[in-house]
Amino acid sequence: MRSRTPYDLARVSHPDPRIIAVSGNAIKSQICNCSELDHELGSLIVRRIGQMESHAHRASPDELYRLLLEPDFACHAFAGENTTRIMSIQRQVIENEVKCNIANCRMVTIPAVMQHGWCCFNWDMMAHVITIMDPMAYQTEDTTRKTCFMYAADKIHDALFDCIEEFFTEWHCSRHSWTKKSPLLSTTTFTRPESALCVVHLLRQFKGNSLAKPLTRAAIANERGSLLIELIHMKGNTAPLQLEGLDTIADALNETMKDLGV
């Protein structure tokens, strides 16, 4: 029998709105070794960003400017499923865990994993604009790719407004007469494995019309460096903290950051 390594000891597990459990080996491979983030670890990171935004507005929850939904929303929308009947989605918008007045949110942001890599879609509920954020758009002029993103935006848009119309009576926003835009987010060439870290940066820095900080290779290296600490401090983590495993992962990440010159 194979002996357990420190990477087996470190893990993050979180139950709401659906159970996600990620092992230390996955964290090492995807964050420290720069391989592509899979759906589960990416979802956990999005969940943690949402926690941090809620904490920042804890004194005035009605002023939370954005509703951040997890990537499984897009997956269900792409599959043509009825998103109003999926419990994990219901728990993100109508359960007691939601501390803010969602109808006051100016933006709704939904990351997604597509065949081209990670991307992000943002709804400006006042301007009626859908912003399609493809971090790899700079290196391609593929019209098929752009058509695919437009179609994806339509699928998520319909699923989102199905939920709005089902669950809210005081959120007076029509699903009709929306425009789409696909801004050039960066002039840096990113790879598919880097697209998830790009989306993490976009989630933190997109303010409705532009980025507070530019999307660069140094920026996503910094995102990589902060993710481990943020996951360790995730509120509601039900996995016991195994310091030996966490220290080993932190050492591996530090070596990676040195190699990247960060």
Task: Give the CATH number of the domain where residue 131 resides.
Answer: 3.40.395.10
pLDDT score recorded for residue 1: 45
CB of 102 within 8 A of CB of 156?
Answer: no
Residue 117 lies in a domain: yes
Contacts of 121 (CB under 8 A, 6+ apart): 74, 109, 110, 111, 112, 130, 131, 132, 133, 152, 153, 156
Indicate whether 1 belongs to any domain.
Answer: no
15-19, 22-26, 34-38 — which one is most confidently predicted on average? 15-19
pLDDT at residue 244 greater than cutoff 60 = no
pLDDT in tens, 138-191: 766 778 888 999 999 999 999 999 998 888 877 778 999 999 999 988 999 898
Q: Confidence band (pLDDT; 50, 70, 90) for 62?
A: low
Of the two residues 9 and 233, the one the predictor is more confident about is 233
pTM: 0.86
220 within a domain of the structure (yes/no) = yes
Q: What is the DSSP letter of 117?
A: E
Nearest to 202 by CA among 93, 121, 107: 121
73 belongs to a structural domain: yes
Are 87 and 72 a contacting pair, CB within 8 Å?
A: no
Q: What is the count of structural domains for the chain? A: 1
* pLDDT of the residue at 124: 93
How far is 20 from 14, CA to CA, in rounded Å?
Answer: 5
65 forms beta bridges with none
Q: Give the range of the structural domain holding residue 105, as residue numbers without chain letter.
A: 6-259
Lowest mean pLDDT among 4-8, 27-31, 94-98, 165-169: 4-8
pLDDT value for 76? 97
Residue 96 lies in a domain: yes
H/E stretch holding 22 reads strand 20-23
Omega before residue 17 within 30° of 0, cis = yes
Which tokens is 33 given?
């070794």
More confident position, 1 or 178: 178
Sequence-ordered list of residues with C-beta below 8 angstroms from that of 94, at least 6 positions apart, any chain: 167
How high is the pLDDT of residue 247? 59
Q: pLDDT tens digits for 180-227?
A: 999 988 999 898 989 999 999 999 999 888 899 999 999 998 888 788
The span from the CA of 110 to the CA of 66, in Å, is: 11
What average pLDDT is seen over the chain?
83
**Per-residue confidence (pLDDT) for residue 96, from 0 to 100:** 44
| Dist. CA 169–CA 141, nearest whole Å | 42
pLDDT at 115 over 80: yes
